Chains A and B, each alone.
Chain A
Amino acid sequence: SAVISQKPSRDICQRGTSLTIQCQVDSQVTMMFWYRQQPGQSLTLIATANQGSEATYESGFVIDKFPISRPNLTFSTLTVSNMSPEDSSIYLCSASLTSGRLAVGAGELFFGEGSRLTVL
């Protein structure tokens, strides 16, 4: 299993500012992902954090708005840039370990507790 720590757990930000969320995993994982979840809504995949290279973004998400880093196997950051009230959400870091029966990346997802951002 993997334990994921995220910080900050919550923050209130001003419009136009940027905030970086940190994600630390207690073991080496193969895949790391960033999701966004509006209260009461589904989990929307923002991007796959790739170690040592540019993240892979999903449709509707761009690097200039959500720059992501993953310098090693256990740490990743997500920055929400030039924030607007529409960016108010819970941002979740998740990680996957390789399963013996599955190819890399399709294993169980572990989630951090999330970072609740409120943009005024």
Chain B
Amino acid sequence: QQPVQSPQAVILREGEDAVINCSSSKALYSVHWYRQKHGEAPVFLMILLKGGEQKGHEKISASFNEKKQQSSLYLTASQLSYSGTYFCGTALRDDKIIFGKGTRLHILP
């Protein structure tokens, strides 16, 4: 079951904040976040396990609400380098990851 991401696209000015949401109708084991720049392979950002934990990576953090099967990715004080497509991936079991359709983030100088 493919997770649902929102919004589909975001345009920000450098220094602004953004939130990307990911939800599933299934009970999740873990949520993964990746960023892909044009013409490149996806790059891992972080994994969140069930239990409502929150993690951070530079100025990028995320939360996972196990009860709601939702995760959010927070980008604060966005930088030009944050531009790209963000994918959430969900694992129902511990052996494979299904990705959402992605959220395109474009940062303007």
Contacts and interface: CB of A to CB of B under 8 A. Distances in A.
B47 interface: yes
Most buried by A among B29, B40, B41, B101: B41
B64 interface: no
Contact of A109 (B97, B100, B101): B97
Most buried by A among B29, B42, B89, B98: B42
B96 A105 contact: yes
Contacts of B95: 31, 48, 104-106
A66 interface: no
Most buried by B among A43, A44, A108, A110: A43
Interface residues on B, range: 20 to 34
Interface residues of A, number: 25
A92 interface: yes
28 contacts: A31-B95, A31-B96, A33-B96, A33-B97, A41-B101, A42-B99, A42-B101, A44-B99, A45-B97, A45-B98, A45-B99, A92-B41, A99-B47, A101-B49, A104-B94, A104-B95, A105-B95, A106-B29, A106-B47, A106-B91, A106-B95, A106-B97, A107-B47, A108-B32, A108-B44, A109-B44, A109-B97, A113-B40
Interface of A: 31, 33, 35, 41-45, 48, 92, 99, 101-114
Interface of B: 2, 29-30, 32, 34, 40-44, 47, 49, 87, 89, 91, 94-102
